[in-house]
Amino acid sequence: MANRANRPPATAGRSPLGRRSFLRISGSGLLAAGLTGSLTACGGGGGGSSSKNLVWWDYLVEDARQPGIKALIAAIEKNVPGLKITRRTFPYAELEPAIIKGAASGDLPDLAIIDNTSMNSLAPQGLLTDLTDRVKEWGQADAYYKGPWSSGVVDGKTYSVPNNANCLALYYNTELLESAGVKPPKTWDELSAAARKLTKGSTFGLAMSAVKTEEGVFQLLPFLWSAGADLDTFATGGATALSYLGELVKAGALSKQCVGWTQQDVNNQFTSGRAAMQINGPWQLPGLKQQSKVKWGVVPIPVDKEPASCLGGENWVILKTSGKADQAWRAIEYSQRKKPLAAYLGSVGLLPARSDMADSGDWATDPTLKVFVREFGNARPRSYGEHYPQMSKAMAEALQATLTGSSSPGAAAKKAADAMTPLLSK
């Protein structure tokens, strides 16, 4: 985002978190052409009429991920007796609208992998199966990081199980920092000073996405939370976060062009040497490791009052209309066993939401991945209820207004707070 605003690692050159464009559920405009998606049959045909056939939807369409996903499906079919899976894929922005449309038409899957922000709308609309009793009997909830797990809990009931997780951190150009005598920053003050000192010629000290979508909000929220604030105190805490970022733009340390940058654009600035530091996620690692122009490192996002990062990733859900919830649950349960889960995550470039897997897989030996895994302890989900898309829009507008200079941080934060407060109480 992502959720996938925020996103999992993807093939180089692709913008996974661009898929976090927030979804408008009211109106038919989102239900655009192409909702049929592409159909990938894995051990089944195109429907769910057979008692052995389980229909699965997701938006994990990157070519590099397909062998890993097909291997997981094959493993589930082999180890869950009598089960066959039909998989259907959608572009990111079309999956949630397709589920909502399918609720009316009766065309819904048995299970799906969705952005964890979609829990804000799908669960309150009554589209998901309550998994609370199954999870209690399973006894594995405590094996997950708090943030990823809580993204699937709505009004005290569990409606999903994390498929994977990701978050944000600060990348830095090691050579530029060393030549400027700057250490990787740990606090807001240090980040501000470093960004100013590293700004030279055509190189900005810091790059981040402030685009007017959930992708930009995904990067704003860690600053809001680090200031000790939340959506219900956005008028004051939001003003603090917006003011901090606005001052970086005024100082020339953060490009004004960031209001149009996706997170992939930000990474392009970094790898081209036009940004000494960037805020981004682990999905950029494959591309960064393939290039040799920039030497880099990763540290947690610098802190104001408390450490914070924004949680992204996907969750498993079972649709309430499915007549095969037991079979779907067995598929999910198998996918979360450590051996098949480690194989799946490693093959598709994702990170585990299970804290008890921190010492296994690529993330146990890769020092960069370790930074992101450790940050899960500080990463928060965007679990604000079914009106979150409207609240995200208000925050995106406040960020844009501040960084373009069309409004003061205080006025922009107040306007956003006035729009969000009634929605938070619903």
Nearest Cα residue to 16 out of 24, 26, 4: 4
pLDDT for the residue numbered 3? 40
pLDDT for the residue numbered 280? 94
Q: Which residues, listed in sequence order, are joined to residue 224 by a DSSP beta bridge?
A: none
More confident residue, 290 or 66: 66
Cα–Cα distance measured from residue 32 to residue 11, given in angstroms and rounded to the nearest whole number: 26
CB-based contact 56:64 (threshold 8 Å):
no
pLDDT for the residue numbered 50? 52
Q: What is the pLDDT of residues 273-313, one digit of tens each?
A: 999 999 999 888 878 888 889 999 999 999 999 999 999 99
pLDDT for the residue numbered 290? 82
Q: What is the pLDDT of residues 27-40, one digit of tens each?
A: 333 333 333 333 34
pLDDT for the residue numbered 24? 31
Nearest Cα residue to 416 out of 215, 245, 238, 246: 238
Cα–Cα distance measured from residue 185 to residue 195, given in angstroms and rounded to the nearest whole number: 9
Sheet hosting strand 84-89, strand order edge to edge: 38-42, 84-89, 53-58, 111-115, 314-318, 161-162
Question: 27: left (phi > 0), else alpha (psi -120 to 50), else beta?
Answer: left
Task: Tell whether pTM > 0.75.
Answer: yes
pLDDT for the residue numbered 188? 98
Cα–Cα distance measured from residue 291 to residue 304, given in angstroms and rounded to the nearest whole number: 33
pLDDT for the residue numbered 47? 40
Beta strands in 251-407 (DSSP E): 275-280, 296-299, 309-310, 314-318, 379-380
Cα–Cα distance measured from residue 149 to residue 164, given in angstroms and rounded to the nearest whole number: 10
Nearest Cα residue to 127 out of 39, 25, 18, 216: 25
pLDDT for the residue numbered 28? 31
pLDDT for the residue numbered 282? 87
> Residue 220 corresponds to which tokens in the numbers above?
């704003």
Q: What is the pLDDT of residues 109-120, one digit of tens each?
A: 999 999 998 998
pLDDT for the residue numbered 194? 98
CB-based contact 254:208 (threshold 8 Å):
yes
pLDDT for the residue numbered 51? 63
Nearest Cα residue to 85 out of 335, 321, 340: 335
Pairing label, strands 53-58, 111-115: parallel
Least confident of 10-24, 91-105, 202-216: 10-24
Average confidence (pLDDT) over 390-413: 97
Average confidence (pLDDT) over 359-376: 87
Cα–Cα distance measured from residue 332 to residue 66, given in angstroms and rounded to the nearest whole number: 18
Nearest Cα residue to 397 out of 259, 264, 262: 259
Least confident of 127-131, 302-306, 347-351: 347-351
Nearest Cα residue to 225 out of 310, 166, 312: 310
More confident residue, 31 or 175: 175
In the chain, what are the helix, strand and coil shares in percent, each to the nearest 5? Answer: 45, 15, 35
Question: What share of the chain has pLDDT > 70, as a percent?
Answer: 88
Helix (H, G, I), strand (E, B) or coil at 297: strand
Average confidence (pLDDT) over 77-82: 93
Per DSSP, the residues of 351-395 read B-SBGGGTTSSGGGT-HHHHHHHHHTTTEE-----TTHHHHHHHH
Backbone angles phi, psi at 53, to 5 degrees: -100, 125
Checking if the pLDDT of 235 tops 90, the result is yes
CB-based contact 264:192 (threshold 8 Å):
no
Q: Confidence band (pLDDT; 50, 70, 90) for 41?
A: very low
pLDDT for the residue numbered 135? 98
Average confidence (pLDDT) over 43-63: 69
Taking the CA atoms of the chain, what radius of gyration do you get in angstroms? 21
Tokens 């956003």 — which residue?
416
Average confidence (pLDDT) over 43-52: 44
Tell me the average pLDDT of the chain: 87
Cα–Cα distance measured from residue 415 to residue 97, given in angstroms and rounded to the nearest whole number: 29
pLDDT for the residue numbered 103? 94
| CA triple 237-243-247, angle to 5 deg | 155
